[in-house]
Structure 1
Amino acid sequence: MPPKHRDGNVVAVIPGQWISHAHTLCCYTAFLGALIVGISLHYTKIVENEHFGYPTEWFPSVSATIGDRYPERSVFQLFIAITSGPRFLLVFLFYCLVNRKGESGAKWIAGVGVFRTLTCGGWTYVTSTDDHDWHDIFMISYLVATLPWTIGCLMLGPPNPTTVKWRKYLAGAFFGTLVPLVYFFIQHKVHRVPGAYTIYAFFEWALVLLDVAFDAVTALDFSTFEVVVRDVKGLSRGDKQRVQDAVLEKQKDKPIGQVFNARFDWHEMLDAVADVYMGFTFWSVLTSLGLLVWYFPLWHMGISGYEVAVMSTISPFLLEIPPLRRLITKFLPFNHLTMGAAGLLAYLVKSPEGRLGAVSFAVWEGCLGWTATWYRDRGDPKKLEARISAWMIGLIASSIAKFAFWTNNPMWPVMNAENGGWNKTGIFFFALSIGWVFYRRPQMADTMQQPLEKPRGSSALAGLGLAGLFFALHSLLSDSSTMILWVWEGYPVRGPLAVPHGAWTIFTMGAGLTFGLFYPNVTRSWSAFGIGSVGAAMLTGLSNWNGYYGAMTLTFYLCAVTPLLISNAVRFPPGRTFFTGFFVYNFMVLFHVWVVAYAFVPGGPLVREHTDWVMATTMILIGCGVFSALQNTAGAPAKQQKKTFQPPPNPAARRQRSYYIYTLLLLQLLSASIAYLRFPAYNYEPYHPDSKLITAGVWTIHFSIDNDMWSSERRIERLLRESELDLVGLLESDLQRIIMGNRDTTQYLAEELGMWVDYGPGPNKHTWGAALLSKFPIVNSTHHLLPSPVGELAPAIHATIDAYGTLVDVFVFHSGQEEDPEDRRLQTEYLSELMGRSTRPSILLSYLVIKPGEGNYNTWVSEEGSGMKDIDATDWDRWCEYILYKGLRKVGYARVSRGTVTDTELQVAKFAVGQPEGTGEYVAEGEVSEDMRFPALFRGEGVRGHRYHVFDEPRYFA
């Protein structure tokens, strides 16, 4: 008689660890087998890359080994297919291992494991040779899933000290290897360093080995499992005995860390995510305010009166009135609701004045709401830490959003569906977040507040500390490329790049915040303040990598000290303390604009070109906050003062902290993915290589804000593309200040148009900016600040490009204003002499403020001095923009109207390389080869307000 259902003879018993061993063996065989076969059969071919071959490069990358050639590709795919069976079983067994009662994360980690396995199959069987885009999509998805898989294994796995230790070591080594991996890839791809790709390949193989080794650790966990096959109908004769599962409960009380040993709760995780999104919304609104204010002085060319809107941050002064303070703290979510509604919906307001008003109100509500939130939770360290963490991670999320959208926050009111805005998406997620806050309010009722001692010292010191902190975070860390552009000095590249090194800045922000949460006594020390101050000095005074190391030091310190300074400030009366903080912050915002705009503001010459004063003042203000915090620590118990590691006071706080760290880790992975996706291809080609044609243009882009207060990058890009520009000089292009949104238009233009870019003198050089975009490689570039004894500084770029094998010098220049004739005379002499010394073919793309044939014009256009010629000396209508040249044959010249993009037209010239200069006489378009003609798109009425004007058509030359 066959046994009853589920009661059968045991046919087979497979020890659980064998599943893990089979996975490890098959996976390593797939990779190492392909490597051995590849080296044996196609060694010189698989070590070769687009720049170098054997013997310069002598070790193959993973992708070249497994995806390019037969039979190694087949060896890999065969064994990786065999690996899929043990892989799915491994995920299933891990699910069984962690699927404890009340554990909601088991299904989540199983889903991640299955997704990760499927995406592995995607990049395995769709190689970069087959379909590069889908290969990258699968690969990025696999890497993105690796972080939650790693966290889930650490978080949910049994508290076995051995497995926890090895998982930490291997996970740390895996993610640590990403840093040198990216570094050597850049050395190969950007700098074309011989042998760099071989070193990169070693780190790439290390990632593979570490990734598999991390999953191999499951063998230790699965030693308590057996996979049992039963015959429930009696058809076999199996009679193997089954060993009972080992009991893990004996280890349930062993801690595996201060944070990640508590039960995972999705409700609490969503609480953290909603809080972070509230912080993200606040920073999105605050960082947009200066940009809207800036629109008005641009058109007034001086103080407009609308600058008073920056004072909308001082709303916390209302908390000085007790009845209002009680009312505001009682209905706090409504402040956040009105902040988000007014700030995110402002893009629907068409008039610039109305939009500014809506955002000003949103900032008013946001500053008031966050101050009241911190003050309300001052007696509950757990809640206060959560609110501060959410606010800071919101800043990091805002910086990541700008990293993803080429330095524009897609939720800003200068964005819309036509220029890349995600306003509706932002509103949708804000609605979900604020709805969750209201829904969870009863469950998040106030706990017993700890009584606070009367604070020592002056509230003014705490407020000044806030002022320095708010200003430093906003001016330096609201965009990941700001400090990178501070230390940029041109080509060849000798320092960090906005992509991918912006991800390093974001990583350092997260690391600093985490350090500040775990080691508050270290961050409050004067030693830490001194290290941060050294970083600030290095950033201010040094360039390239040395300056960036200082920037990273300062970044780490600012984020680490944030919880300390805010926690200390809420001990004092909130109205006066945070009013002081935001009021002085506003002063600092104006201060760091005055150092550049000194020619247009009262008292400007007093602070002219003194970014060093701004930085010193910032650190002194933060020092005031540190001093205040130390005063209030003096009364703490001696035991607490001596500890350098202070975990939260109860297990609930430890669990809460973990959710914010999970959110932070996911954001960091998103940042790394963005850096990967945005990494440039560097395979740029000019529009008309057969004719050896250079189409060059100059455009004053007016800080990328159009006439109707919309961000204009996409409209600029479209016109430059349609004009088929190989070379373009952009003026008034430095946007890396609070008042301009801390943006960089050149990133979007360079990536979309496929061009090398030189940003020109950085934001710490006190100019309005000059930038160069080139389809041709920039061999070398230097930045110049021209003599300006009275007026604003005049930036210039002197670059050498490789155009069809010929070195051509390109100069981009913005001269001083009409009111400063002596400045313009000295600048003319300086740059004319610089151009005159060049023996190469040269092009000047400039803003000169002269009339043709008069004054300084005869110095710029001179056979004896600069050697430069005017692209069209008969064009009498120019005032600002000029294109000059020498050593090239001019082919054509056109003026394209600006539409509503800016206040200045685009001027374009065509040059032929390697041909003798022509007569310069006008010829009909039909006498010019079709490849050298201007696009017909802009004839007549043109498109979108862009047309050939002044001459109503392009001019061509013999």
Structure 2
Amino acid sequence: MAPISRDGDVVASFSGKWISGAHTIAAYSAFVGALIVGIALHYEKIVQNEHWGYPEEWFPSVSATIGDRYPERSVFQLFIAITSGPRFALVALWYVLTKRPNSSLSNFVAGVGIFRTLTCGGWTYVTSTDDHNWHDIFMISYLVATVPWTLGCLALSPQNPQAIRWRKRFATAFFGTIVPLIYFFIQHKVHKVAGAYTIYAFFEWALVLLDVGFDAVTMLDFDGVEVVVKDIRGITRGADNRLADAVLEKQKAKPAAQVISAGFSWPVAFDAAADVYNGFVFWSMLTSLGLCVWYFPLWHMGISGFEAFIVCTLTPYILGPRAIRNLFFRNVRVLHLLSLSGLLAWLLKDPTYRLFAVAFGVGMSCLAWVCTFGAAESKPAYRLESRISAFCLGLIMSSIAKFAWHTNNPIWPVVNETNGGWNKIGLLFAVLSILRSTRDDTSDKFYPVPPRTGGKPGSPALAGLGFAGVMFSMHSLLSDSSTMTLWVWSGYPVNGPLASPHGAYTIIAMGVGLLFGVMVPGIARSWTFYGIGSIGAAALVAFDDWTGYYGALAIATYIMAIAPVLIRSAVHQRAYASTFGFGFLIYNILVLAHVWVVAYAFVPGGPLMREHTDWVVAVTMLCIGAGVYEATARAAAPSKKPKKPAQTSPTARRQRGFYIYILGGLQLLAIAVAYLRFPTYDYTPYHPDSNVLTAGIWTVHFSLDNDMWDSSRRMAYLLKNMELDVIGLLESDLQRVIMGNRDTTQYLAEELGMYVDYGPGPDKHTWGAALLSKFPIVNSTHHLLPSPVGELAPAIHATLDAYGELVDVVVFHSGQEEDPEDRRLQTEYLSNLMGSVTTRPVILLSYLVTTPKQGNYNTYVGEVSGMRDIDHTDWDRWCEYVLYKGLKRIGYARLSRGTITDTELQVGKFVVGQPEGSDEHISEDHVPEDMRFPALFRGEGVKGHRYHVFDEPRYYA
């Protein structure tokens, strides 16, 4: 053990609180000084932003204040440089104060403190003007490191109630401020609301004050610490020895045990992380099952037989016989390891074998988690809470992963290293997590739980219904943060949430709900809370835009709050086969119903479910209500041996704390993703100098290619290299369980730099129509065309600001060949719609299901609509057509699909602001170079894409 002191004369000493005080004063001086100088010298310039200036905006943001203007930037940088000394000293003193034997948490927190100090210097001295990317990297790194620093300081806090209380207040206020900060930034950036940036600025300044204030609390801890400077060689020649004696007396009176708090444990932290990652793996595999199944009816254009694989989730039924149940309960680790076939599936190239592997993995995972819950039930009560928390946090982690990967999951079997997959890393962590998480479950000391004694007999059927309802709602609504956002999407101008950044709001609501379910289960299972959740579900179904999204946030909070309650209720039945087996059976029925509402034209008895998402949501809430009834009855029933509440145990509190830390980290990660994905809205068409508008139509077949791989990156490659300014996508609505709850348009819009209209949302029961545009979308309206018999026909009617002129674009998917009356009614509707636009140019990007110059074609291209065919001599068409009026058509091309989908890409080139021109074909030599189609796809082309049918583009006079 190190000695308390070394011999020598004390030449100086001071209270440690002055280090904290100097840090606080210097940091506040940097920001406040820059603010005062900025307001005094450049007030109107620093309140000016990209949309508004004074008087609409009257208070500057932090970034505008400390930015590039002299001398405020210099004032800020000078005081921040002064702050660095006390800052490093503060981190060092905190490390000395909180260092404890057999624990490395203080080392970790000190490392984070140094990292935050360095990254602060990074975004301070590298402004966005100097290097925007590095400025953002330093800033985001600083914010992300704030979470472990804050939580670490709370965990290490000495036994000082006043300091702990202030730390909690500052931390809560800091993270609570982030939500309104994002809201008002969106109001400014997206909706361009006057004055919103000023309100945002106040929240931004609040973050600065709270961040510095959190570290200022160390003054309360450092007040009892004295920093001593000793002369151990006698070089000061005049030190007062009496000072040394006084200091030594103080040191003897303050044992280190009085300032070190216990509670943190790396093993427990690793256990929590491993549990959560196992939950992430479960949800990743479950959400991939429907996607893999969907590939087969998609290519068979009807029932394929492979749909039967969804019953793989019924494996808990085999837990009925006691001998089998005992066998599996003792081998939970084996079950989890076998389930990893669902992650290994990406190695299999054949889609059929891949589906087999995924189905087996999901079946084993369902069985493994039921056994995991059962194993936890035989241990201290807090262990079951931990497993359930990990299961629910796994869903949040999966949703965040999809948020970061534009609605794809990086460990799905439909992705690999060529299209964004992290399969190898995901598999490695899965193996390590299982080995870590299940080491206690495989102990020889484990025995299956005995039959329940005492209390009111439960109902496995009601508990199973509750489990089914919460599983289906978690999967269908919460497995992707943009699902409910797209349910309430109504088009332009934007009057509601966006997939990014508002996906972070959904994830935050999920986290808040989970805290309710774990911390106050009595409120979570109350009928009042159930009523709030039901109202939220009704609002989600009935309303669009913000009203519907408020309902979405309410139902997200409720589902995550009731999930721990209903899972615990199901586990307590201890009739695992009948409870969880029945629960997964009802879950599967709800999944089928969820698909039948849109696939009614292709399945037996489909018309009964036609367009009845409201029925599915209502039945789901009734199932949850049945579970709430059972959980409430069980909670009210007396027990012969009442258990001591888990939260009274210090071990339980510590265990719960780690899951809350993980939840906090995940929430900040979601916010960071939202920041990184925030749209720039600075999009530029490919040939602005020539007023060229290149538009295309493509039926993308739900973004699964011919070999069951996600095709979004290959699509982006083709669209970018074809220099498309406007693209209509059909069969693009992927926001269903069976399609993985995806949205390819998010990736395409951000990768290509385009505005996007998703089109009619998932609750509108279509296969989807989407529009992406380099030009601002001034207005868009969604249409569901008459479809008395067959599937619904979606259309988007959008007005674009193309080079200062308003141009209308219509994206449309007609009904099936088997329903001629539907297609006739749809033809009349759409022709009248296009004909009503008499003063603006119009482009139709469509899927018409007709032969050129026959039948409905003559209505689409006729006097009512006023539209012209892009090339009336092209006889080799049946589905895709490009029509136009009011623009000069200069080119037309057809590109082979490669293996991306089953439909080609058709493209037309137009010049905005010129009359329509003639039908005369001209050679490419007579076309200016910047108006030509890319030469990349001539001849054999690249990656399976080439000009075909004509073997080259066509041009017109």
TM range (shorter): over 0.9
In the alignment, which residue of structure 2 is the partner of 1:119? Answer: 119
Q: Structure 1 unaligned runs (5+)?
A: 254-260
1:734 aligns with 2:736: no
Distance 1:451 1:324 in 2: 16
In the alignment, which residue of structure 2 is the partner of 1:257? Answer: none
1:591 aligns with 2:593: yes
In the alignment, which residue of structure 2 is the partner of 1:256? Answer: none
Mapping for residues 19-418 of structure 1, pairs under 5 Å: 19-236=19-236, 237-239=238-240, 240-241=243-244, 242-243=246-247, 244-245=250-251, 247=254, 263-340=263-340, 342-380=341-379, 381-418=381-418
In the alignment, which residue of structure 2 is the partner of 1:664? Answer: 663
1:876 aligns with 2:878: no
Q: For 2:513, give the aligned amino acid.
A: G
Distance 1:925 1:384 in 2: 71
Cα displacement (A) at 1:774: 0.4
Distance 1:155 1:443 in 2: 31
- Superposed CA deviations along residues 404-426 of structure 1, whole A, max 9, x for unmatched, are 10000010110011111111111
Distance 2:658 2:459 in 1: 35
- Assess if the C-alpha contact under 8 Å between 1:691 and 1:931 holds in 2: yes
Distance 1:794 1:937 in 2: 35
Cα displacement (A) at 1:40: 2.0
The alignment partner of 2:600 has SS state of coil
In the alignment, which residue of structure 1 is the partner of 2:606? Answer: 604
State which drifts further: 404-413 or 43-52. Answer: 43-52
Cα displacement (A) at 1:899: 0.5
- Distance change >3 Å, CA 716–CA 449, structure 1 → 2: same
- Superposed CA deviations along residues 175-228 of structure 1, whole A, max 9, x for unmatched, are 111111111111121122222222212211111111111111111111001111
- Distance change >3 Å, CA 168–CA 449, structure 1 → 2: farther
- Distance change >3 Å, CA 262–CA 96, structure 1 → 2: closer
Cα displacement (A) at 1:639: 13
Cα displacement (A) at 1:443: 8.0
Normalising by the residue count of structure 2, what TM-score does the alignment of the two structures yield?
Answer: 0.96
Q: For 1:516, give the aligned amino acid.
A: G
- Assess if the C-alpha contact under 8 Å between 2:690 and 2:911 holds in 1: yes
Q: For 1:621, give the aligned amino acid.
A: C
Q: For 1:517, give the aligned amino acid.
A: V
Cα displacement (A) at 1:373: 1.3
In the alignment, which residue of structure 1 is the partner of 2:493? Answer: 492
Cα displacement (A) at 1:634: 2.4
The alignment partner of 2:647 has SS state of coil
Distance 1:5 1:822 in 2: 95
In the alignment, which residue of structure 1 is the partner of 2:582? Answer: 580
Distance 1:436 1:885 in 2: 63
Cα displacement (A) at 1:487: 0.6
- Superposed CA deviations along residues 855-902 of structure 1, whole A, max 9, x for unmatched, are 11111111x211111111111111111111111111111000100000
- Assess if the C-alpha contact under 8 Å between 2:330 and 2:441 holds in 1: no
The alignment partner of 2:707 has SS state of coil
Mapping for residues 585-734 of structure 1, pairs under 5 Å: 585-636=587-638, 647-734=646-733
Distance 1:173 1:447 in 2: 46
Distance 1:108 1:314 in 2: 44
Distance 1:520 1:440 in 2: 27
- Assess if the C-alpha contact under 8 Å between 2:97 and 2:259 holds in 1: no
Cα displacement (A) at 1:441: 5.9
Cα displacement (A) at 1:250: 9.5
Q: For 1:489, give the aligned amino acid.
A: S
Distance 1:298 1:630 in 2: 43
In the alignment, which residue of structure 2 is the partner of 1:505? Answer: 506
- Assess if the C-alpha contact under 8 Å between 1:861 and 1:870 holds in 2: yes
Distance 1:441 1:66 in 2: 55
The alignment partner of 2:599 has SS state of coil
In the alignment, which residue of structure 2 is the partner of 1:823? Answer: 822
Distance 1:29 1:941 in 2: 66
Mapping for residues 424-443 of structure 1, pairs under 5 Å: 424-437=424-437
1:767 aligns with 2:766: yes
- Superposed CA deviations along residues 749-779 of structure 1, whole A, max 9, x for unmatched, are 0000000000000000000000000000111
Distance 1:377 1:433 in 2: 17
Q: For 1:384, give the aligned amino acid.
A: L
- Superposed CA deviations along residues 930-955 of structure 1, whole A, max 9, x for unmatched, are 11000001111111110111111101
Distance 2:948 2:651 in 1: 69
Q: For 2:505, give the aligned amino acid.
A: W
Calculate the aligned-residue CA RMSD, in Å: 2.0
- Assess if the C-alpha contact under 8 Å between 1:378 and 1:567 holds in 2: no
- Assess if the C-alpha contact under 8 Å between 1:379 and 1:452 holds in 2: no
- Distance change >3 Å, CA 377–CA 473, structure 1 → 2: same
- Assess if the C-alpha contact under 8 Å between 2:333 and 2:435 holds in 1: no
Cα displacement (A) at 1:21: 0.7
Distance 1:952 1:730 in 2: 24
Cα displacement (A) at 1:372: 1.2
The alignment partner of 1:491 has SS state of coil
Cα displacement (A) at 1:488: 0.6
Q: For 1:587, give the aligned amino acid.
A: I
- Assess if the C-alpha contact under 8 Å between 1:456 and 1:631 holds in 2: no
Distance 2:652 2:40 in 1: 57
The alignment partner of 2:697 has SS state of strand
Cα displacement (A) at 1:712: 0.3
State which drifts further: 664-673 or 646-655. Answer: 646-655
Count of residues in correspondence between the two structures: 943
- Assess if the C-alpha contact under 8 Å between 2:185 and 2:197 holds in 1: yes
Normalising by the residue count of structure 1, what TM-score does the alignment of the two structures yield?
Answer: 0.96
Distance 1:445 1:146 in 2: 41
- Assess if the C-alpha contact under 8 Å between 1:5 and 1:232 holds in 2: no
Cα displacement (A) at 1:638: 12
- Assess if the C-alpha contact under 8 Å between 1:158 and 1:248 holds in 2: no
Distance 1:5 1:407 in 2: 59
In the alignment, which residue of structure 2 is the partner of 1:529? Answer: 530
The alignment partner of 2:808 has SS state of strand
- Distance change >3 Å, CA 640–CA 771, structure 1 → 2: farther
In the alignment, which residue of structure 1 is the partner of 2:913? Answer: 914
- Assess if the C-alpha contact under 8 Å between 1:5 and 1:233 holds in 2: no
Q: Percent identity?
A: 66
- Distance change >3 Å, CA 754–CA 358, structure 1 → 2: same
- Assess if the C-alpha contact under 8 Å between 1:160 and 1:251 holds in 2: no
Distance 1:904 1:697 in 2: 13
- Superposed CA deviations along residues 78-105 of structure 1, whole A, max 9, x for unmatched, are 1101100000111111112211334432
- Superposed CA deviations along residues 467-522 of structure 1, whole A, max 9, x for unmatched, are 11111110001100000000110111111111111111111111111111111111
State which drifts further: 367-376 or 704-713. Answer: 367-376
Q: For 1:631, give the aligned amino acid.
A: A
- Distance change >3 Å, CA 372–CA 216, structure 1 → 2: same
Distance 1:567 1:444 in 2: 25
- Superposed CA deviations along residues 641-689 of structure 1, whole A, max 9, x for unmatched, are 9x9xx65252211111111111111111111111111111111000000
The alignment partner of 2:875 has SS state of coil
In the alignment, which residue of structure 1 is the partner of 2:889? Answer: 890
Distance 2:618 2:51 in 1: 45
Cα displacement (A) at 1:41: 2.1
In the alignment, which residue of structure 2 is the partner of 1:258? Answer: none
- Assess if the C-alpha contact under 8 Å between 1:374 and 1:388 holds in 2: yes
Distance 2:56 2:634 in 1: 61
Cα displacement (A) at 1:388: 0.8
Distance 2:55 2:498 in 1: 29
- Assess if the C-alpha contact under 8 Å between 2:811 and 2:845 holds in 1: yes
- Assess if the C-alpha contact under 8 Å between 2:375 and 2:448 holds in 1: no
- Assess if the C-alpha contact under 8 Å between 1:518 and 1:647 holds in 2: no
In the alignment, which residue of structure 2 is the partner of 1:785? Answer: 784
- Assess if the C-alpha contact under 8 Å between 1:262 and 1:655 holds in 2: no
- Distance change >3 Å, CA 429–CA 444, structure 1 → 2: farther
- Distance change >3 Å, CA 427–CA 5, structure 1 → 2: closer
- Assess if the C-alpha contact under 8 Å between 1:104 and 1:264 holds in 2: no
Q: Structure 2 unaligned runs (5+)?
A: none
Q: For 1:692, give the aligned amino acid.
A: N
1:518 aligns with 2:519: yes
